Structure 1
Amino acid sequence: MRKFLPWIILVVVILIGYSWFKGINNTAVTLNQNIEEAWGNVETSYQRRNDLIVNLVKTVQGAAEYEKGTLEAVVQARASATKTVVDPTNITPEQLEKFSQNQSALSRLLVTVENYPSLQANQGFLKLQDELASTENQILTARTRFNEAVKPYNTHIKTFPNSLFAGIFGFKEKPYFKSVEGADKAPEVEFNFDKKEAK
């Protein structure tokens, strides 16, 4: 029996080590899947907003000719919003920042629309505005849940001793969703009635 004792100890150590490594890897995989699901929900919310912008384009197209500038702003906002694609398996802080900046084009657009009282009175536009406000709340929720999914993943791969082996398995820290620079300041709304009267 003593002859086999070192082999038994070795097998037990190997099994314990295997279980430990398996636990580190599988937990990280599960948490990473949660992040990918949360990011999918973020993209779904943004897609809903982009789809609503198509309807906004149609509404503005049906408005008076002097609102041509607003139509151009709407089209540009939609183009900016769909510019950046983020791969949830390899998210970088730079990708998230660019994505946020492009998505913020709609906020600037809604400020532009404030200059067109007749468009604001349009029932279709008012309904769309309500839908967009609702969508913005969904986006906020989706981004919050994304950050909530990132936290346990980052904690798992950064805590010792997991941090020693996470890199070997290919797991890297994921960035949190942050607001774009200047988002803490309220946008300025300017009413240029002289410009409208001149038309």
Structure 2
Amino acid sequence: MLNNLKDYQLILASQSPRRHQMLKELGLIFEIRTKEVEEVYPGGLDTEQIPVYLSELKAKAFEEDIKSNELVITADTIVCVDDWILGKPKDREDAVKMLNALSNRSHQVISGVCLMSKEKKVSFSTTTNVHFKALSDEEIDYYIDNYKPFDKAGAYGIQEWIGFIGIDGIEGSYFNVVGLPIQRMYQELSKF
């Protein structure tokens, strides 16, 4: 469908199985290639700028060895409640703290994406507002013990049990909350 990309070898620089699945469902042929990057951002960035900065940082790791026919896709997702930015939980206690903070309130899920070739770089972010019902301690414990959400920003996956029972509303892209704003990415890829 994206004929403008036929001369590119697409590289998804992510280990996320959810991102892999979304690109496959989009009908794209891609290779997975990752590099270790210390995900640290400078102070003073607006919340929307943080995941864009981190996705560009991940893309920068490919600058030296990217070939002229390659297009690298990098992404980063953060969860923000009030002014607290929730990354991936360090451990069970951290996951409990995060889910308690999200319980019975709204938060933002912000994904940053960077599309980079030898000649061009396009970056953008997408924000989705998510509202959780009040979660009981038993629900939080059950979810963490059975789904082990330690690889997910904010300690939850909307597509898992806690999303089914706990999320009572979203404004914006569902797929952004899963981990990749696929509609916006499709638009940007079609213009690349």
Q: TM-score scaled by structure 1?
A: 0.24
CA radius of gyration, larger in: 1
Q: Kindly indicate whether structure 1 or structure 2 has the higher relative contact order, using CA contacts under 8 Å at least 6 residues apart.
A: 1
With the length of structure 2 as denominator, give the TM-score of the two structures: 0.25
Which structure dedicates a bigger proportion of its chain to helix?
Answer: 1
Decide which structure has greater strand share: 2
